[in-house]
């Protein structure tokens, strides 16, 4: 698989011949289980086939149970300069409910070690967990702050079909997640992190100055990216493509020098809707000048018309011709965005 990934990197170099790579991100699953020489081989392949800026952000996603001290030192002695750690919660009962492989002690221990070797660390936390009180959620945030990590990504718990959580809910063992509780947790999180110097730069992401995720920001700002490996998605500014999710099929195609992907060319309306969705989730908002310039007056008039009721309800506001969510509108930004979409 690793050799197939290096081959795909080489096969696709012409897609980026006029671009410079700013970030390399190992995500999707648990790339931290790869041997260090495999990670090194993949990074070297990027450098051999693409132009790369002097200090790219190179992130590895990892789970706490993978991050032993040996593993952390190995990663830090290579070109990896950012860790994204799937903590989810610092409490045992939450981790069991979410069917996580690590325990509370491992969550704290890996951060204790990782912060000695890495300056740039992001952790994931989940809120809106059934039976999680506001006080318990506050303690989760306090523990994260104690470790002084500069970036936190936080998401509301979602129940996926056929998971252990889904079965517990159906059997009545635990209650369904409650939207009102999730909203309360979200506002507690925003207030607590902003008090501690974090910038709420995207709906689910909080970073100290100079610690925003460059990888994710590129996606929200509509920059081009190439996704390597089974199921990976790519975007070139005009079309979106995705690789086949079947490993055997992926390996067979790559062995035959074929890219195992499908492509969809985005219509003007698709591009407008994507910009509205990503823009509204971020501090950069939606530029009304850009809407008019790229999509025309019809789209601008439609956007203004759809946004009017949300401006009246103090969920959106316009400042310097940028449309953004207010503090109370932030949690609702995805729902508001869908109402601003242009229907084909």
pLDDT tens per residue across span 204-227: 999 999 999 999 998 888 899 999
CB 90 within 8 A of CB 67: no
Bin 53: left if φ > 0, else alpha if -120 < ψ < 50, else beta. beta
Burial 216-245 (b: 16+ CB within 10 A, else e): bbbbbeeeebbbbbbebebbeeeebbbbbe
Residue 219 contacts residue 22 (beta carbons within 8 Å) = no
* pTM for this predicted structure: 0.92
* Token pair belonging to 216: 């994710």
Instruction: Tell me the sheet residues that pair with 235.
Output: 225, 240
**How far from 4 is each of 38, 130, 237, 246, CA to CA, in Å?**
12, 42, 26, 13
pLDDT score at 32: 77
Task: Confirm if 287 and 278 have CB atoms less than 8 A apart.
Answer: no
Residue-level pLDDT at 80: 96
Residue 174, pLDDT > 90, answer no
The predicted pLDDT at position 31 comes to 83
pLDDT of res. 166: 67
So what's the pLDDT on residue 273? 96
CA atoms within 13 A on the CB side of 19: 17
Query: Percent of the chain having pLDDT more than 90?
Result: 83
The residue ranking higher by pLDDT, 313 or 31, is: 313
Identify the CA nearest to 84 among candidates 60, 115, 108. Answer: 60
Tokens of 155: 């998401």
- The domain ranges of the chain are 20-220, 233-265, 268-340
User: Which pair of structure tokens corresponds to residue 228?
Assistant: 């390597």
Q: What is the pLDDT of residue 133?
A: 93
- Running DSSP on this structure, what letter comes out for residue 191? H
- At 224-246, the pLDDT tens digits run 999 999 999 999 989 999 999 99
- Residue 193, CA distances (Å) to 39, 148, 190 in order: 33, 11, 5
Least confident of 56-60, 159-163, 317-321, 330-334: 159-163
Rounded to an integer, the average pLDDT of 124-137 is 93
Q: What is the CATH class of 268-340?
A: mainly alpha
Q: How confident is the model at residue 172 (pLDDT cuts 50, 70, 90)?
A: confident
| DSSP states along 254-279 | HHTT---EEEEEPPHHHHHHHHHHHH
Average pLDDT over residues 173-178: 72
- Residue 162 CA to residue 96 CA, distance in Å, equals 16
Mean pLDDT throughout 247-267?
A: 96
Cα angle for residues 234, 14, 79 (degrees, 5° grid)? 70
Residue 165, pLDDT above cutoff 70: no
Specify the pairing of strand 51-62 against strand 82-88: parallel
Measured CA to CA, the distance from residue 250 to residue 229 in angstroms comes to 8
Q: Answer whether residue 14 shows pLDDT above 70.
A: yes
Q: Name the residue with higher pLDDT: 130 or 293.
A: 293
Helices 297-312 & 333-340, crossing angle to 10 degrees? 140
Res 1: pLDDT: 95
pLDDT at 244: 97
Look at residue 72 in the predicted model and tell me its pLDDT: 95
The mean per-residue pLDDT over the stretch 180-207 comes to 96
Per residue in 27-80, pLDDT tens?
976 787 889 999 999 999 999 999 999 999 999 999 999 999 999 999 999 999
Report yes or no: 157 and 117 within 8 Å, Cβ to Cβ.
no
Question: In this structure, which topology does domain 20-220 adopt according to CATH?
Answer: Transcription Regulator spoIIAA (3.30.750)
């Amino acid at each position: 698989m690793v050799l197939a990934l290096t081959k795909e990197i080489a096969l696709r170099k012409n897609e980026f011949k006029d671009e410079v790579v700013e970030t390399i991100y190992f995500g999707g699953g648990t790339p931290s289980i790869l041997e260090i020489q495999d990670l090194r081989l993949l990074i070297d392949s990027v450098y051999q086939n693409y132009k790369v800026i002097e200090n790219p952000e190179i992130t590895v996603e990892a789970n706490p149970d993978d991050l032993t001290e040996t593993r952390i030192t190995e990663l830090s002695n290579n070109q990896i300069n950012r860790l994204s750690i799937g903590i989810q919660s610092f409490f045992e009962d939450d981790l069991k409910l979410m069917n996580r492989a690590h325990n509370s002690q491992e969550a704290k221990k890996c951060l204790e070690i990782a912060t000695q070797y890495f300056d740039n660390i992001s952790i994931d936390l989940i809120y809106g967990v059934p039976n999680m009180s506001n006080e318990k959620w506050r303690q989760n945030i306090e523990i994260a702050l104690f470790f002084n990590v500069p970036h936190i990504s936080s998401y509301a718990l979602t129940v996926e079909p056929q998971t252990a959580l889904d079965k517990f809910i159906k059997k009545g063992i635990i209650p369904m997640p409650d939207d009102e509780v999730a909203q309360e947790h979200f506002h507690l999180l925003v207030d607590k992190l902003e008090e501690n110097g974090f910038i709420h730069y995207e709906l689910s992401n909080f970073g100290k100055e100079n610690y925003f995720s460059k990888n994710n920001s590129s996606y929200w700002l509509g920059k081009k990216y190439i996704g390597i490996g089974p199921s990976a998605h790519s975007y070139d500014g005009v079309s979106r493509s995705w690789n086949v999710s079947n490993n055997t099929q992926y390996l067979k195609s790559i062995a035959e020098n074929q890219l195992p992907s499908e492509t969809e060319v985005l219509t003007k309306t698709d591009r407008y809707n994507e910009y509205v969705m990503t823009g509204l989730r971020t501090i950069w908002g939606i530029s009304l000048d850009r809407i008019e310039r790229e999509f025309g007056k019809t789209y601008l008039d439609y956007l203004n018309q759809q946004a009017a009721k949300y401006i009246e309800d103090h969920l959106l506001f316009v400042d310097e011709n940028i449309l953004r969510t207010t503090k109370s509108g932030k949690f609702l930004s995805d729902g508001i965005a869908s109402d601003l979409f242009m229907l084909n």
